[in-house]
Structure formats: C-alpha cells, structure tokens
Structure 1
C-alpha cells in the first residue's frame, strides 16, 4: 500500500513599496514586499497568508523587523 500526499506552497507578489529607513549593512534603500502564500493539498486550497518582507535594494539582503 502506498500513500502519496501532494502538498504545494505557492507564493505571489502583491506589491512593492518603499519602506522608511536605511539598510544597516550598506545604507541602501529598504523595500517592503507584500507576499500572499497559499498552501494546497491535492489541489484544494487550505490557507491563505499575507506577509510583508523587507529587503535592501542595493545589497539584496533580506531584513527582519524586531
């Protein structure tokens, strides 16, 4: 007997905005990216989450807000 679970996570960029402040590593401009993620199980959507991720436009590092 073999069970196969088909799980998938799909991410879609909703928008990009300029965020206040500067990158602590290089001093570049910080960009806020709104991302919608969707978990699927056997092609059925289970949950939707919207996140905001921050990254630097010059050194392309991902930044975290504490």
Structure 2
C-alpha cells in the first residue's frame, strides 16, 4: 500500500493599489499586489497565507524591500 502526498498551493490575487516610491531601475511607478495563497492537502485546506508583492508598472520587475540593519 502506497500513500501519495498531494499538496497544492493556489495563489489568488486579492487587490492592487499604487505604492509610494519609484522603481530604482527605470523610475516607473510601483504597484502593490495583495496575494492570498491557500495550501490544500487532498482537497482539505491546510493554511491561508496573505502576502504583499511589489512590481514596477513600466519594466514589470518584482521589487523586494530590504530592511536596514539597526545596530
């Protein structure tokens, strides 16, 4: 008897809005996208994770925020 693990991530876009700042590569506007991911195991929801991702509207690059080291 074999046990098969089926774990699937289903991302879903919740909302978009303009973020402050500009792209460091092309000086375009930055857009914030709220994404909700649902992890399922054999059709049963395990967890929901909400994240915010930042993209440039001109060059379509994904931007990452870096927290400065506080000493």
TM-score normalised over the length of structure 1: 0.96
Q: Distance in 2 between matches of 1:37 and 1:20?
A: 25
The alpha carbon displacement at 1:49 in A equals 0.7
- Matched residue, 2:31: 31
Length, aligned pairs only: 66
Q: Distance in 2 between matches of 1:59 and 1:2?
A: 47
Q: Distance in 2 between matches of 1:3 and 1:46?
A: 18
The gaps in structure 1 that reach 5 residues or longer are none
